[in-house]
Amino acid sequence: MTVPLPAALAAYAAAGGPGAGEPYAVLADRDDGTVVRCGPAVAKAHAEDADREGLAVRVRIAGDRALAGVLLPPLRAGCGSVHGRPVSLWPYGTPVDPERPEDAPWEEAARLLAALHRTPLDGLPGPVPPMRGPAKVARALRRLARALPDTTGEVPEVPEVPEGVELVERVEGAATRADARAVRAAARTLPAWARGEAEAPAGGALCHGDLHLGQLVRHPAPAGPWLLIDVDDLGLGTPAWDLARPAAWYAAGLLDTGTWLRFLDAYRAVGGPAAGPPGSDPWPELDLAARALTVQTAALALAKAAGSGRRLDDVERLMVDACVRIAGLPADLESGPPS
């Protein structure tokens, strides 16, 4: 009889370590990652089709001395295998408390990103793989295509939004089709590399690739310094991508101006290379990545809603509505967030 994946991960985490014999807890269970805690150790089974060579390099980078104080170091330098999936092993850290948004460590996240982006590439384990942010945009659009295929055979039309009309009350089926067209139209404002359809521009900095507040923990638990976790998308790329999610939230009205400025100012104050110098308009550097993250978020929201037969929640609706606005903008717009 095959041992279920979470139990097998717990055994992997506990083998020969201080967590042996302790109960385990499943922290996440998705197609792209199953995470199990057993005492002070956390085992993560990555996606079955993960780039194993690239993942191994990413784990080694996380343990490199140059990233001490920035990335949570692994308990083991290499990756194992459980149920045919690559597995990495990490110390447990205390995550951000979702029940206390007022305590969210925005400034700490910004300073960690700046330090990551300033890390010299020479001497890191390598070759450093590309940052996987654009690949995640491509994956989200493919998921949307499977959930809500465009069967018209026509060029999708951008829904027209009369001045002053809120995009809330719609017939569910018609709204889903219109929203999917808008997300695809917004995606077409991006260059091919930002949609994961071509190679990214050469050069760049070491980037996290999937920054959000769930990617920070305190280590040692429970009150150590904040560190970045989850290196699945880590790699060489444009550092603006790591600022794109909060930038997209700000543009969509999900992040208030005060919090956005605290995050931005903290990043700039310690020499973060993206977003321009202090006091300048950050949007020329952030616009493209923010649009890409908006498309990714909205595509996933629509695919998940269609898959479960439910309406979009308020946050998802704001991201889809942002795509409606983006779809009507020129592809090279760099003057500011869509308003």
Question: In this predicted model, what pLDDT tens digit does every residue of 49-82 receive, in sequence order?
Answer: 999 999 999 999 999 999 999 999 999 988 999 9
**What are the backbone dihedrals phi and psi of residue 108, each rounded to the nearest 5 degrees, phi first?**
-60, -40
- Number of DSSP helices (H) and strands (E) in the chain, helices first: 9, 10
pLDDT score for 150: 82
Highest mean pLDDT among 34-38, 166-170, 308-312: 34-38
Confidence class of residue 177 from pLDDT cuts 50, 70 and 90?
confident
203: left (phi over 0), alpha (psi -120 to 50) or beta: left
CATH number for the domain formed by residue range(s) 1-91 = 3.30.200.20
Per CATH, domain 98-339 is 3.30.479.30: no
Q: What are the boundaries of each domain within the chain? A: 1-91, 98-339
Rounded mean pLDDT of the chain? Answer: 89
Q: Do domains 1-91 and 98-339 have the same CATH topology?
A: no
pLDDT score for 172: 46
pLDDT score for 157: 47
pTM to 2 decimal places: 0.89
What is the rounded CA–CA span in Å between residue 19 and residue 91?
A: 11
Nearest Cα residue to 141 out of 177, 185, 200, 173: 185
Mean pLDDT of 172-197: 86
Report angle CA 90, 266, 300 to the nearest 5 degrees: 60
